[in-house]
Amino acid sequence: MPDTPTDSPKVPHMSPVPQSLLPSVAERLSRVQSDLRLGLPCLLTDGPVRAVAVAAETLTQARLDALRDLFGVPELVLTGNRARAAMAPVQSADIWDLPVRIRPPEQADLAWFMRLADAGQDTAGPVAPLHRVRDREARLHGLALSVVKSSELLPAALIFALADDRAIPEGLSMTAVDLAEALSHFAQTPALSPVAAAGLPVEAHDSGKLHVFRDPDGRTEHYAFEIGTPDPARPVLARLHSACFTGDVLGSLKCDCGPQLRAAMLRMGEEGAGLLLYLNQEGRGIGLANKMRVYDLQSRGLDTVDANHALGFEDDERDFRVAAVMLRNLGFGAVRLLTNNPAKVHTFRAQGIEVVEQLPLRVGKNIHNSGYLAVKALKSGHAL
């Protein structure tokens, strides 16, 4: 008689993954930022439309070759500011502040892409002729630029469009971000969580308390430093200050950041109470590496704003809403703001923080930064 078949092995029942274990939109964007800084690709989606994106700055020739073998010839996407600086005037005359898509030569190497991506490498002048692509919407291209900029990388990305039936090879794991979810996240007021606080005496006052706040994606921390014991029922003397490693720590003479920080804390100490809001948004929000690129372009004759534009950034990429979130968390609703920058006043008021007084901080001018300060007054409206 034939052997009696044994029962088939039972497959364990897999329960659905709890939603709390799945990454949120903010967490997926944080993963994308980390991947882009590592030179890894990510997957961008807009409904059924899909594209693979990778940052030009951190890409290697080997990965460019591999991506091209898998997905074909990419497009290079630049900001309008960068495209105007990189392209010949006849081609850049109609460029606005929208993603500019460029079709490279079929076998263009990484050096070709980087000459267009990095203002520091275009010393030979504008590249021409270039093939601009205008036949499809550039929604995912705009998302790619947003996440690359938020990663503090040069705002240039390579985009590989995926056909509807194009499968991603098994084993190529990419973090995916959907356009609608990302746009909704970017539009939201930043959410910060208090992490820790402790007393900290400083030169300006022997009674202080440092509060550490963290973004929900865990990537960035910002600080609020109370001097004395400010009364939440009264407008607090406050300084909104963005991190400046060169000025705050090294004592750079190219800006007025260090003198402003020290003058603000000294005044708070003299009055007996105040609040310093210290944002980790180095270089007007573009990061220290890009700030050094700006300095290099300044040494070639560009002013601060023009150098930012040549790299592909806006005049100022900072998000001052973060400071309003910290203020409210600490119980303050009104400030006497130590600042020369009208954008800070505008943002606070738009976020429901009452600015009862704007107090200029005209300190730190020297022969090395007089031109820089003049540009801040002329092009950014600072009260200098």
248 is annotated as an active-site residue: no
Please state, in angstroms and as integers, the Cα–Cα distance from residue 112 to each residue in 10, 107, 122, 228, 360, following that order: 56, 10, 10, 56, 46
Among residues 94, 318, 336, 362, the one annotated as catalytic is: 318
Among residues 262, 316, 319, 362, the one annotated as catalytic is: 316
267 is annotated as an active-site residue: no
CB 242 within 8 A of CB 317: no
Active site residues: 316, 318
